[in-house]
A and B are shown apart, each in its own frame.
Chain A
Amino acid sequence: MTTDGRPHAGDDQSPLRQNYRGASELVVLVKRWGQRPMPAAVLCAFEELEEEYDALLDTASQFCVMRADVGEVLGLDPDVQPRQQLRTLDGTIEGALHKHTVCLRAIVGENVAVDASWLVSRDWRGPIVLGWMGFLQSIAFGCDPGVTLDDVGTFYFAPLSG
């Protein structure tokens, strides 16, 4: 991992460089959920909680998704309005939509916080998901997956708003 967030583009390729502000670890979870191809996971945290959580990066998901028990820890009711359905690999799930801030804790550089849109669902049986519309669209990010699957790579990020 480099400390300036420019791991790949050379000095002669300035248009390709992205000024990432933070970097943390990226974990590929392919072997951890049956044989289902899984995207990469990063560490996230919630401002009101001390601990950290693994969260999947999912560019195909409209919203961030969390299980109801995570929502209840954060005070996000899974049974209120507005409600929305979401199609997933496990079928259609339903839940309540909330705004809640989630933080990417950097190991190098600076942390980035996003006021993300969450679907809090009692139907969801998977891990925390960081989706596109509710989260990823607000940051610039880059992934270095590491050498092999189940290896630890690097996740670079920066807020789009600077």
Chain B
Amino acid sequence: MQDSRTATSGAFGDAEALWRSTRLLACLPGSSELPHWESAGQARATVFFAEEGRGGTLWGMSEARTPEEEGQGLPREVEPIGRCDYVTRVNAAALETDQEEGASGARGAFPHTGAGATAILPPQQDVSLLRFRVQPAPALSRYTAMIHQAVANHAKVVALMHESRRYAEAASPLCQLSSETIARVAQNMRTAENVVNPIMGEFFSRRPEQQVGIDPALLATFENAVRFAAAHHDVFGLARMASELQSRTSAALSNASDRVAAVEAGSVADLNAEIQRLLSAGRVSDARAIAARAASRMPGSDVFAQWQEVLAPPRARLAGKATGRSRRSEQAWLREHAQDYKGQWVALRGDMLIAAGRLLQEVRERARKAAGLTEILFHFVPEDP
């Protein structure tokens, strides 16, 4: 059995020609590294695409080549290497055995048979997808901006997929690949679009406020796992986590969708109640998002504009040179006398009581008449509970 790294860079050096053509289909700009090849022994395969959901066809390259192909430095064409019900790290030894028995036997190479699986995208795309699905647990106020960024990324992905398909069609004569191969790869890409777009579409069709219901702890856990997998070039691990996260995300979005749909069907009073409920639960960002949408849906309703205003994050600014002064004298007076004024406002200047009373307006007025309000400290002495 060869060392996998050596085999990847050696025996598959010629395969880069094919990969370069398929990279056009698969990669986002800026990716300079070749994709990771699962490699061990005599069997190597990389997943270009597994069609969808619960099982699908793995498309990849096998190592076996005809003598003619070896002479031309071309790998075998992209071909289906087996079906899977759940994609995980390929057991290459089993794959090798299975391939000898025919493609149908390759199913045994994937130990997690029977489990659900979702789309496996070309590696670079998969990583791209994971980047937005596994953002670190952010403060909710930052989550909206992250989603907007993901939407922008999504648009870029879709544009690239279309562009890549055109490249694939144009690249056929240059890469000396058979038209059948190109057609198959192009078909893969079209199928990928059909898989990717609904998933992405579902995710992005949710408004930001619906998406903040995703458990941040779960996202953080996945982020750590994804970082580990990415560091080890574990494309299959990434794919598996993408599958799991997609599943959990969908569930979270479904719950959020029910809640927001109920709100959308409701009245101003319902929306008010929902905002208040979210605030009581400490979910200020969610409440802020609901208020924003309600304000846009009901521009004539002042109350939602007011919600937007009062829920806007506070902003601090410098406000000139220091104008405060020490209040130690007032504090000393309070330590000695505050217990005598429970339930009252006291107006102090230094260690002198200027006025006291139960209503601030009255105490202010008395203080203003007695000494003016400049440098007065107002202190409310609560009653004992």
Contacts and interface: CB of A to CB of B under 8 A. Distances in A.
Interface in A46-100: 49-54, 62, 67, 69-70, 72-73, 81-85, 87, 89-90, 97-99
Given A53-B379, A72-B361, A73-B360, A43 B324 contact: yes
Contacts of A161: 315-317
B343 to A, nearest CB: 8
B323 interface: yes
A51 B364 contact: yes
Nearest to A105: B324
Contacts of B316: 112-114, 138-139, 159-161
Contacts, number: 170
Nearest to A89: B385
B13 to A, nearest CB: 47
B314 A135 contact: yes
A112 B322 CA distance: 9
State the main secondary structure of chain B at its contact with A.
mixed
B254 to A, nearest CB: 28
A117 B325 contact: no
Contact of A113 (B312, B317, B382): B317
B376 interface: yes
B323 A112 contact: no
A106 B275 contact: no
B314 A81 contact: no
A82 B309 CA distance: 10
Q: Which of B279, B303, B381 has the most CB of A within 10 A?
A: B279
B99 to A, nearest CB: 55
B382 A126 contact: yes
Interface residues of B, number: 58
B137 interface: no
Contact of A22 (B312, B322, B359): B322
Given A85-B280, A109-B322, A128-B380, A150 B361 contact: no
Interface string A143-160: 000000010100000011
B331 interface: yes
Contact of A81 (B282, B306, B372): B306
Contacts of A160: 316
A111 interface: yes
A90 to B, nearest CB: 6
A125 to B, nearest CB: 6
A43 B377 contact: yes
B164 to A, nearest CB: 43
A110 B318 contact: yes
Interface of A: 21-22, 24-25, 27, 31-34, 36, 43, 49-54, 62, 67, 69-70, 72-73, 81-85, 87, 89-90, 97-99, 103, 105-117, 125-128, 133-135, 137-139, 150, 152, 159-161
